[in-house]
Structure 1
Amino acid sequence: MTNKPLLLDCTLRDGGYYTNWDFDENLVEDYCRTMENLPIEYVEVGYRSIPLKGYLGEYFYCPEYVLKRLKKLMPSKKLVIILNEKDIRATHVGELLGPCKDYIKLVRLAIDPSNFERAIVLAKAIKKMGFEVGFNVMYMSNWKENSTFLDLLEGLEDTIDYFYMVDSFGGIFPKDVIEIINLVKSKTKCALGFHGHNNLEMAMANTLTAIDHGCSIVDATITGMGRGAGNLRTELFLTYLDSQRITKIQYNNLSVVVSKFEKLKAQFLWGTSLPYMFSGANSLPQKQVMEWVGMNRYPISSIVNALNNQKDSLKDNFRLPVLQKEKKYNKAIILGGGKTVRNNSTAIKKLVKQNNDLCLVHAGARNVGEYLDVSCEQFYALVGFESEKLLEKVKDFGNLSQTCVYPPYPRAMGTIVPNEIINLSKELSAVDFTKISSDSPLALAIQIALDKGVKEIFFAGFDGYEASINHNQYLVSQENQKIFDDVLSYKNIVVTCITPTKYEHMNVISVFSLIK
């Protein structure tokens, strides 16, 4: 490479998949000042969108005041927003993009190839408003098998300023880049771009190959922050350009902002790993892998097993006996992983002892060791790592009255049941009181209680999380809150928390008020 390509940094847009498009204002200001002083032509600052269900943050909607602030911080840069084509139609363009005219130079469209014809209609409406238009066409690794959509490129040179090839799965290699670029060049004279994901750590090699074979613009993000395994690192690409004397880099500001994003990376843990490598190599969707990795609920072996099943189009092929539904108990105590389960174990055990119509359900295995001496029937709700944790806590299963309960068949992860508990293991027929999750330990525990006919559930050890939680804890707390809300509204069930909790809407009473 002898000439520098145009560089587009899309940290705030692609990185938003980890922060829900909310960023600390001081971090954004530091980022913008750094962009302003680097040889970067375009800065993509986020999405613009019609209102969608659920919470999506500031840089997903990019209201006008945000764009105005960003343009003031980066006056020399061409600012970019992206539209998710699946949500946006030509009729939305005036309302969405009218406020952007003074701030935005380029509007990109994230496009599924199957919607390419529809995207052209949207692009023409955007072009009429005077914006540059970029097509970010996804799933590049599948194009060689189905490239008919590229025939629609003919005659669009006046509409599309940049045609981006997006390696959505992070699974291509340089030879694939060359083949696909040649294929696209046979269909259009539009300027070409490349957006590489880093599942197989090929983003840099693929980007350099793309440039050498005709791409005039490429994407990168600070520290590679982006969906799933992330992207080409801006600082790596700039360092390469500097080493080749293609451009000169001022490292002081860059090093400061990289350091701050590295701290964010320690919290959200983007970057490649074995599950991302496997999904990239086999062109499997990133969204589900990101959810599995982000929840920190499953061992890597389970995630890779699940991905392997997807690759081979296999369902979980291991069935367990189904837990019988019966009106056996009136009450259940569901134990979480909080320290209040241990701190109040004496009182909780007395409550169990004075109720003959009560069972004990463990939402996970963290505190089972405290209750091995309890003689009532116990159920262990097991997901992900929990089977291994149970084996660490319980050395002898011979003298206990317990049942190990797994999610309903088929399980997304497949099933691995240790030999020590195979004869004690059952599966739920369904999780039907909530649609939030069928493999949350809390959801499983509640469904076990319901399947045993209980009318009153006591929760203990669901302490909630402190304000300074990490991303994984945040995801779990949000999931738990939604599950609690669903059981609170479930028919004819009395729900009480008997230890302190930070979860909302719960009726809380003291366990000590219930024992004689």
Structure 2
Amino acid sequence: MYLLDCTLRDGGYYNSWDFSQEVIEEYLEAMAAAGVNIVELGLRSLKNSGFKGASAFTTDDFINSLPIPDGLTVGVMVNASELVGDTPQLEVLEALFPVSADESPVDLVRIASHVYEFEGALQAVSWLTDKGYRVGFNLMQIADRTEEEVIKLAQLAKEYPLDALYFADSMGSMMPDDVSKIISWLRTHWDGALGIHTHDNLNLALSNTLRAISEGVTWVDATVTGMGRGPGNARTEELAIEVAELRGKPTNLVPLMTIIRKYFKPMQIQYGWGSNPYYFLAGKYGIHPSYIQSMMADSRYDEEDLLAVIDYLRNEGGKSFSTATLNNAREFYSTEPQGNWSPQEAFANRDVLLLGAGPGVSRHRNALESYIKTHQPVVIALNTQTGIDAELIDYRIACHPVRLLADVEEHVSLPQPLITPFSMLPEDLQSQLSNKEIKDFGIHVEQDKFAFQKNYCTVPSSLVVCYALAAITSGQANRIWIAGFDGYSADDPRAIEMKKVLRLYKECSDLAITAITPTTYNLPTQSIYAM
């Protein structure tokens, strides 16, 4: 039984593989004490874009600088995409492994391969074996492959001198019975050592690993606290206990628990790996966990965005991560815009006060209410914002389908008409709003563009503020006052996005926007108290 810890490799997706020397040295001692056989110290790669720490490249010089405890085998991982890309495979291998295994601190090389890369990347096995390296192969995203496909992969693997053939539950979607099924299919032709690498979307990483062991798998992966891409992996601190029991040998967990307290728990609080309902849904629907990880690290994505993108990827497919796909998934309206209401009926030649969700509305409530009663602008509130007396609000505006679904009962109970792209909403949402007074104003999302039509608008993002500004502009209002747009810290992605939206709007419209409560945005500002 080989217990392999790949914290510095898989965990590096959270901290750009930038672990301090102090952490690595204490980690190595803890692994040796806990009965871990192999440590995969990181990736080995020729790609160099953006800063990444030493474990993104894991050179021999770096490994030689570390005090590797006796009896601990060192491994590195190579992505098959680098072996089957534009550069000839031999050239890549010679650059990544310039010396033979007897001159290198690396003993094990694992190749992570998608199914479509498998046959081409397998050719590297013979070269690495001839150089003296032990070689493992990790088959990714195998859970949704047919029996015929998996058996064919096993046939291919049988022709090469692999030390271990791994299968990875890349999407975290497998159940224990699925694990057994994959093993039985691989065993039709592959009679060498099998390994498993699990992800914890469904909180089954440990259970799936133990099922695999019971089915004869002898190579198992884990990471400290489960630190790994997406929700993470089987946890070393748990699997080490199980493996020690299977071996019938005691293990010393004190150094491991010490580094968890000192380093890994604080990092987990900072970076947030571990399963949650979003990763659970991603595992359930076979969505690549990097979508969830990217959205959770980006404050522009709130709960409604996360759920909407998951629903989009569930239907459209999200097995391979793509930033472009993620951006498209956030823009929910891709059909031709539809609408039957013209905002000119409500806003033409009127001053409009737009109320955001920031604390500035509640903080300056009395002054805002006094201004509204005296000057009677058209008052529009974003979503279900209730910072002032509801009787002073003329309209509410919303366009995010998931946010609307979450707020639908409140919208139905609120007295104001709702401006929304009603005829473009999902049918179930239309049904729930059927008794609500609706102003159906269509929306079309097109990057870097505002346009203002009679019954619909084009906006650069499905943010409700974009939709609101466009509706008011289409309505030929006299001017826009805004309150409750306090802003975010300068490095917050939401601030960057909002600044871009306002810049684009200024380029496309001559309608004046003035903030009358404090804001960090570059806008003309007046004080509500002087109005």
TM-score if structure 2 supplies the norm length?
0.71
CA displacement at 1:253 relative to structure 2? 1.6
Instruction: Give the distance between the partners of 2:425 and 2:55, measured in 1 at CA.
Output: 35
Instruction: Identify the residue that residue 35 of structure 2 maps to in structure 1.
Output: 39
CA displacement at 1:196 relative to structure 2? 1.6
Instruction: Give the distance between the partners of 1:425 and 1:27, measured in 2 at CA.
Output: 59
Secondary structure of the equivalent of 1:86? helix
Instruction: Identify the residue that residue 289 of structure 2 maps to in structure 1.
Output: 286
Counterpart contact for 1:431–1:438, Cα < 8 Å: yes
The C-alpha deviation readout for 1:242-291, integer Å capped at 9, x for no partner, is 34553322222222233353444455554444554455455454344555
Instruction: Identify the residue that residue 159 of structure 2 maps to in structure 1.
Output: 155
Unmatched runs of 5 consecutive residues or more in structure 2: 318-331, 450-458
Instruction: Identify the residue that residue 484 of structure 1 maps to in structure 2.
Output: 499
Given candidates 297, 301, 314, the residue that maps to 2:303 is 297
Q: 1:65 to 1:119 in 2, by over 3 A?
A: closer
Q: 1:283 to 1:305 in 2, by over 3 A?
A: closer
Counterpart contact for 1:48–1:82, Cα < 8 Å: yes
Unmatched runs of 5 consecutive residues or more in structure 1: 467-473
Aligned ranges 1:459-478 → 2 under 5 Å: 460-465=484-489, 477-478=492-493
TM-score if structure 1 supplies the norm length?
0.72
Counterpart contact for 1:361–1:381, Cα < 8 Å: no
Instruction: Identify the residue that residue 431 of structure 1 maps to in structure 2.
Output: 445
Counterpart contact for 1:335–1:460, Cα < 8 Å: yes
Given candidates 320, 339, 348, the residue that maps to 1:322 is 339
Letter in 2 for 1:13: R
Instruction: Give the distance between the partners of 1:61 and 1:323, measured in 2 at CA.
Output: 55
Instruction: Give the distance between the partners of 2:493 and 2:375, measured in 1 at CA.
Output: 32
CA displacement at 1:448 relative to structure 2? 5.0
CA displacement at 1:140 relative to structure 2? 2.5
Q: 1:355 to 1:27 in 2, by over 3 A?
A: farther
Instruction: Give the distance between the partners of 1:305 and 1:439, measured in 2 at CA.
Output: 16
Instruction: Identify the residue that residue 360 of structure 2 maps to in structure 1.
Output: 340
Letter in 2 for 1:461: F
- Identical amino acids, percent of aligned pairs: 22
Secondary structure of the equivalent of 2:156? helix
The C-alpha deviation readout for 1:202-224, integer Å capped at 9, x for no partner, is 33233233234433311011222
Secondary structure of the equivalent of 2:232? coil
Q: 1:65 to 1:97 in 2, by over 3 A?
A: closer
Given candidates 192, 195, 207, the residue that maps to 2:194 is 192
Q: 1:450 to 1:229 in 2, by over 3 A?
A: farther
Instruction: Give the distance between the partners of 2:355 and 2:134, measured in 1 at CA.
Output: 57
Greater CA drift, 347-356 or 37-46: 347-356
Given candidates 182, 185, 189, the residue that maps to 1:183 is 185
Counterpart contact for 2:8–2:55, Cα < 8 Å: no
Instruction: Identify the residue that residue 79 of structure 1 maps to in structure 2.
Output: 74
Greater CA drift, 74-83 or 129-138: 74-83
Instruction: Give the distance between the partners of 1:200 and 1:261, measured in 2 at CA.
Output: 22
Counterpart contact for 1:171–1:200, Cα < 8 Å: yes
| 2:263 paired with 1:257 | no
Instruction: Identify the residue that residue 403 of structure 1 maps to in structure 2.
Output: 419
Given candidates 212, 215, 218, the residue that maps to 1:210 is 212
CA displacement at 1:69 relative to structure 2? 8.2
Aligned ranges 1:67-466 → 2 under 5 Å: 67-68=62-63, 71-72=66-67, 77-86=72-81, 89=85, 90=89, 91-96=91-96, 102=104, 104-121=106-123, 123=125, 131-145=133-147, 146-147=149-150, 148-157=152-161, 160-244=162-246, 246-259=248-261, 260-266=263-269, 268-274=271-277, 276-277=279-280, 279-281=282-284, 283-290=286-293, 295-298=301-304, 322=339, 335-345=355-365, 360=380, 362=382, 364-365=383-384, 367-370=385-388, 372=390, 374=392, 378-382=396-400, 384-385=402-403, 388=406, 397-398=414-415, 400=416, 402-404=418-420, 418-419=432-433, 422-424=436-438, 426=440, 428-434=442-448, 440-441=463-464, 444-445=467-468, 460-465=484-489
CA displacement at 1:63 relative to structure 2? 6.6
CA displacement at 1:235 relative to structure 2? 0.9
Secondary structure of the equivalent of 1:133? strand
Greater CA drift, 35-44 or 120-129: 120-129
